[in-house]
Amino acid sequence: MNSIFVYCELTEEKNIADVSLELCSKGRKLANQLDVQLEAIVIGDVDEGIASQLSPYGVDVVHLAQDNRLFPYQTLPHAAIMIDLIKNEKPQIAIIGATPIGRDLAPRVASALRCGLTADCTELAIGSHVEPKTQKEYKNLLLQIRPAFGGNIIATIINPETRPQMATVREGVMKKEIVSTTYNTKISKVDIGKILKPEHFILQIIERHVEAQKINIKNANIIVAGGYGMGSKENFQMLFEFAKLIGAEVGASRAAVDAGFTESERQIGQTGVTVRPKLYIACGISGAVQHRAGMAESATIISINTDPKAPINEIADYVIIGDVNSVIPKMIKFYKQNIK
Amino acid sequence: MSFKIVVLAKQVPDTANVTQDAMKEDGTVNRAVLPVIFNPDDLHALEMALSVKDKIKGSEVILLTMGPVRATEIIREALFRGADRGYLLTDRRFAGSDTLATSYALSMAIKKLWPVDLVFTGRQAIDGDTAQVGPQTAEKLGLSQITYAEKLIDIDDSSITIKRRLGRGIEIIKAPLPCLITVNQSAPRCRFRNAKLVMKYKRAASISELQERNEDYYQLFENKPYLKIDEWGVEDINADVNWLGLSGSPTKVKKIENVVFKAKENLILSDNDNDIDNLMKTLINSHIIG
């Protein structure tokens, strides 16, 4: 039966990116439902050892395209390898992280294969569909669920006729889950000599500075997130003090990032990362639908806001009506007095 | 040496300012009540195209958009800011196109304008946020692509050098021409309208617009041909209708829902010391913090 493909992105340290492991975990579940194999594609200058990072997540086959010209990522050679592999192996589903690389690669591949592609899915499922006009029934389709229209609606997209069914998924949306520490993963080497041509390397990388990921709010147990209501970059600094004290990471709403209060890597929501910590403290965040989509699954939510009607309060367990700039110092004070 | 530069742009509903009445009862979007704007990223793309034209004299910037007759507005806007001409792809058979069908239509229109040296477009449109049409159009034209462009570093007669913004860094890429570039919002903002150009082009229009207003266009375009904004349909760009609209779109919308979050029963607290101390105690005692 036709398998599920996951394109695996490499980090600056040449490890498999978290988002790709998350997709392998989701891919494993979909593969079980469909009773097919889960296959990963790794393109870069890494050797077979890379498979050990993937096998715990239940990957059956790793297609490895190894060449020193394939790292760092470039559109044309990576697309050429993906297109060739998909044409030969004919997977029914291909999923890719909605990262800067994935969003550059996926549309190029989908266009060449003339297949449907859905961007930035927040959920993937298997389901059936009956075409209203023809009453034709499609079984075991990939249901691609994504926010649309600036996050105001949620759409379920399907590709009834074309294969593979392609989708990109944002980082943090799916959960990483280890299946087995002794999973048997086969390696299939891609014969890149037959695929790559000089014209795939016409772009020249003149300079490149990419930093390793330093901020990892996705895996934090506690997140203190600030919004536009923090008022200024200086006030925002207080959140770092509070977060350090209680062992939290600092997150931000899009409005806070756009206002320059903090860096975009901390952005939570549909255009940032999705988080589900034990505790989420929203400070001066009104809670636009796009933000709530990225944190609504937090176990406990505290909202600190001067506006009792802020939308975020609806999904909060505790709502403190007040100014963050007086509430946070009180929390800090209590914590310092009671925890050594 | 001079270049022919195409800018792909889209008129979009202003999704950043969606109000409650913009959503219908059934969860679909009531486009009629939403104001429309020039897609923000596409304005940055227009600016980058105009900056190439500033450097390479005699170059021509052509705005290409697909949409209803109303979308002619963004072509006029581009003319006011320095574009030389524009084309509106408008035809009922384009309606319902997903990104693949849209990129097919755009690529056929660009082929009609060929030879083209550079294509610029915004990274993504705010109504779909897919960022797919740029790369897909590049693929259909067999062009290389540079995504997330932030700055034009250099341009000469055979290549362009671009600084691109990645998640945690930058890359400077040199690409031979022709190529397609998608532009980020972190790129320079678009220049303002130029008063002289506004005077020159304020009556620029498409024939459909003038017909809607019952104005006589024959005389106008006879005297001032530069005021005519051309409209292209399926046949004008030699497109195959099977690859357009709903039939040419592999993705289908199965269902649309409103975003609903499960409301929680919540405890409302004030900001007095007592309330906050009690909350902190609860959090510490339940080992959520501390």
The amino acid at A227: G
Put simply, whether B188 touches A (Cβ < 8 Å) is no
Query: Which domains are delineated in chain A?
Result: 4-201 (3.40.50.620), 217-338 (3.40.50.1220)
Partners of B255 on chain A (C-beta within 8 Å) are: 155-156
Closest partner residue to A104 (CB to CB) among B29, B135, B268 is: B135
Phi-psi region of B255 (alpha: psi -120 to 50; beta: other; left: phi over 0): beta
Q: What is the mean pLDDT of residues A313-337?
A: 94
Query: What are the residues whose beta carbons fall under 8 Å from the beta carbon of B36, sequence distance 6 or more?
Result: B11, B12, B13, B14, B70, B73
pLDDT for B263 equals 77
Whether the pLDDT of residue A85 is over 60: the answer is: yes
Whether the pLDDT of residue B104 is over 90: the answer is: yes
Closest chain B CA to residue A152? B259
Whether the pLDDT of residue B117 is over 70: the answer is: yes
The answer to whether the CB atoms of A149 and B127 lie below 8 A apart is yes
The answer to whether the CB atoms of A108 and B145 lie below 8 A apart is yes
pLDDT for B20 equals 59
Put simply, whether A215 touches B (Cβ < 8 Å) is no
The answer to whether the CB atoms of A203 and B135 lie below 8 A apart is no
**Are the CB atoms for B56 and B159 separated by under 8 Å?**
no
Task: List the domain range (segments joined by +) for residue B79.
Answer: 4-243
Name which residue leads in pLDDT, B35 or A281.
A281
pLDDT for A266 equals 93
Q: Beta strands B144-155 and B179-183: pairing type?
A: parallel
Q: How confident is the model at residue B265 (pLDDT cuts 50, 70, 90)?
A: confident
Q: What span, in angstroms and rounded, lies between the C-alpha atoms of A329 and B90?
A: 59
How many structural domains are present in chain B?
1
Residue B74 covered by a domain? yes
The answer to whether the CB atoms of B254 and A222 lie below 8 A apart is no
pLDDT for B239 equals 97
Q: What span, in angstroms and rounded, lies between the C-alpha atoms of A265 and A251?
A: 9
The amino acid at B252: K
Residue B251 covered by a domain? no
Name which residue leads in pLDDT, A124 or A264.
A124
Q: What is the mean pLDDT of residues A92-102?
A: 96
pLDDT for B23 equals 63
pLDDT digits over A151-193, tens only?
778 899 999 999 999 999 988 889 999 999 999 999 999 999 9
The amino acid at A198: P
**Chain B contacts in chain A segment 101-120 (CB below 8 A):** 103-104, 106-108, 110-112, 114-120
Query: What are the residues whose beta carbons fall under 8 Å from the beta carbon of A135, sequence distance 6 or more?
Result: none
Give the best-scoring range by mean pLDDT among A150-164, A234-248, B28-42.
A234-248
The answer to whether the CB atoms of A106 and B132 lie below 8 A apart is yes
How is chain B classified by DSSP, letter by letter?
A: ---EEEEEE-EEE-GGG--GGGB-TTS-B-GGGS-EEE-HHHHHHHHHHHHHHHHSTT-EEEEEEES-GGGHHHHHHHHHHT--EEEEE--GGGTT--HHHHHHHHHHHHHHH-S-SEEEEES--TTT----HHHHHHHHHT-EEEEEEEEEEEE-SSEEEEEEEETTEEEEEEEESSEEEEE-TTSPPPPPPPHHHHHHHTT-B-HHHHHHTT--HHHHHHH-GGGBPEEE-TTTTT--GGGSTTTT-S-EEEEEEE--------EEEESSHHHHHHHHHHHHHTTS--
User: B259: which 2 tokens?
Assistant: 């975003």
User: B34: which 2 tokens?
Assistant: 């939403």
Closest partner residue to B266 (CB to CB) among A147, A149, A317 is: A317
Residue B263 covered by a domain? no
Residue B264 covered by a domain? no
Residue B288 covered by a domain? no
Residue B192 neighbours by CB distance under 10 Å:
8
Q: What span, in angstroms and rounded, lies between the C-alpha atoms of A45 and B211?
A: 61
Tokens 């105009």: give the residue: B50
**Chain A contacts in chain B segment 87-116 (CB below 8 A):** 98-100, 103
The answer to whether the CB atoms of A119 and B128 lie below 8 A apart is yes
Cα-based angle B183, A19, B122 (whole degrees, multiple of 5): 10
Alpha helices in B124-170 (DSSP H): 133-141
Q: What is the mean pLDDT of residues B241-263?
A: 88
For residue A237, the Cα-to-chain-centroid distance in whole angstroms is: 27
pLDDT digits over A186-225, tens only?
999 999 999 999 999 999 999 999 887 778 888 899 999 9
**Chain B contacts in chain A segment 136-175 (CB below 8 A):** 143, 147-162
Residue B254 covered by a domain? no
Residue B97 covered by a domain? yes
Put simply, whether B207 touches A (Cβ < 8 Å) is no
Mutate to test the interface with A, among B20, B30, B121, B132 (most CBs of A within 10 A): B132
Q: How confident is the model at residue B286 (pLDDT cuts 50, 70, 90)?
A: confident
Across chain B, mean pLDDT equals 92
Among A188, A158, A170, smallest CA distance to A293 is for A170
The answer to whether the CB atoms of A116 and B98 lie below 8 A apart is yes
Whether the pLDDT of residue A34 is over 60: the answer is: yes
Closest partner residue to A107 (CB to CB) among B132, B167, B264 is: B132
Whether the pLDDT of residue B284 is over 70: the answer is: yes
The answer to whether the CB atoms of A203 and B174 lie below 8 A apart is yes
Residue B225 neighbours by CB distance under 10 Å:
8
Closest chain A CA to residue B169? A210
Q: Provide, rounded to the nearest whole percent, the portion of chain A with pLDDT above 70.
A: 99
CATH of the domain at B227: 3.40.50.620
Q: How confident is the model at residue B243 (pLDDT cuts 50, 70, 90)?
A: very high
Residue B150 covered by a domain? yes
Work out how many CB contacts closer than 8 A connect A with B. 238
Q: What span, in angstroms and rounded, lies between the C-alpha atoms of B160 and A204?
A: 11
Partners of A327 on chain B (C-beta within 8 Å) are: 271, 276
ipTM metric: 0.91
pLDDT for A148 equals 82
Q: What is the mean pLDDT of residues B62-89?
A: 97
